[in-house]
Amino acid sequence: MLYCLICQDKENAIETRMQNREDHLKYVAETNVVKYAGPFLSEDDTMIGSLIVIDVENKDEASKWSENDPYKKAGLFEKMEIFKFKHLI
């Protein structure tokens, strides 16, 4: 089942994002559940959040995956929501 994680960074948190980016990308590669992902950008192209689509069994697993994400552990996100997602196009 696909789940969509919509994450908004805390204001002015680009340093936190960059300090944890390598560990985040390593986690994404190692867990092998991410189907689509990328940062949200401000109008000046600064990264301000993330959209991550993962393929896991249920919402509990999606929550567990997000809790172990180095970005989440570093306190990067102001807000994070998880939605069941159905790919159509």
Q: Residue 18: is it exposed, middle or buried by C-beta count within 10 angstroms (0-12/13-18/19+)?
A: exposed
Q: What's CA 60's distance to the chain center, in Å?
A: 15
Kindly state the average pLDDT of the residues 29-36: 97
Q: Which secondary structure element, helix H or strand E, spans residue 26, and what is its range?
A: helix 14-31
Query: Which among 57, 36, 38 has a CA at the least distance from the CA of 47?
Result: 38
CATH of the domain at 33: 3.30.70.1060
Q: Is residue 82 within 8 Å of residue 4, measured between CB atoms? A: yes
- What is the reported pLDDT for 3? 98
Which residues does 59 contact at the CB level (< 8 Å), separation at least 6?
3, 82, 84
| Host domain of residue 67 | 2-85
- What is the reported pLDDT for 20? 98
Number of domains in the chain: 1
- What is the reported pLDDT for 6? 98
**In the structure, what pLDDT confidence band is assigned to residue 1 with cuts at 50, 70 and 90?**
very high
Mean pLDDT of the chain, nearest integer: 97
Encode pLDDT of 48-77 as tens digits.
999 999 999 999 999 999 999 999 999 999
